[in-house]
Amino acid sequence: MYRLCIFDLDGTLTDTLDSLTFSVNETLKEMGLLPVTADKCRQFVGNGARVLMERSLLEAGETDLGRLDEAMRIYGRIFDANCTYHVVPYKGIPELLTALRQEGLKLAVLSNKPHRQTVHVAEAVFGRDVFWRIQGQKENIPRKPNPQAALQIAEELGISPEDTVYIGDSEVDIATGTNAHMKTIGVTWGFRGRSVLLEAGAEHIAGSPEEIIKLIKE
């Protein structure tokens, strides 16, 4: 039985596509650029806000990325005010978290979303007493798939990587867990599909939150 579950946030615990798409398009609008579709935004998510804006600017026709710093300033302001816009937990996630805690597992969140917004979203949706640690992207910590943050969370809780499961919806998450020598579970309800997760090397694939409980118990 594992002792710690580290979850990605966007696309894994919470459906945040509306908030991300809204904030990206409000940024592009303020810059006088055309919007991107929600499907494109889905593809751009996973490597942090800067990569999200880089890809969005390219999609909007800014091929030299000379306005990236401007975009980051605007996006930071807009997203900070709208990071919970239409955000909801995926069906079955609250029940999953309750069941895992009842089994005695510790829970944590690790996201490439900026730290302030990661904490805000996780606490707004799930409350303040569910996760032992909520970690977003900070300047002094390499972003996923670098394993440093995941390993730090496990170390601070006194739990070995071998007793930890990393759960996420993207190739970035699978690489993070693999790099940290943690068991990996890819989920298919988020921003990527089963084929992407399998190609990334996910040890297990879950099509529903209920499957995660079974996999962990096994």
Residue 35 has pLDDT above 80, yes or no: yes
pLDDT in tens, 133-186: 999 999 889 999 999 999 999 999 999 999 999 999 999 999 999 999 999 999
pLDDT in tens, 90-101: 999 999 999 999
| Domain ranges, residue 147 | 4-15+87-217
3 state SS of 165:
strand
Task: For residues 53 and 63, state if they share a domain.
Answer: yes
Share of the chain above pLDDT 90, in %: 95
Is-catalytic flag, 39? no
Residue 129 has pLDDT above 90, yes or no: yes
List the CATH number of the domain containing 57. Answer: 1.10.150.240
pTM of the model: 0.92
- pLDDT interval class at 53 (50, 70, 90): very high
Domains in the chain: how many in total? 2
pLDDT at 218: 79
Query: 157 CB contacts (<8 Å, ≥6 apart)?
Result: 4, 106, 108, 132, 133
How does the average pLDDT of the chain come out, rounded? 96
pLDDT at 154: 98
Task: For residues 62 and 132, state if they share a domain.
Answer: no
105: phi then psi, degrees, rounded to nearest 5? -80, 145
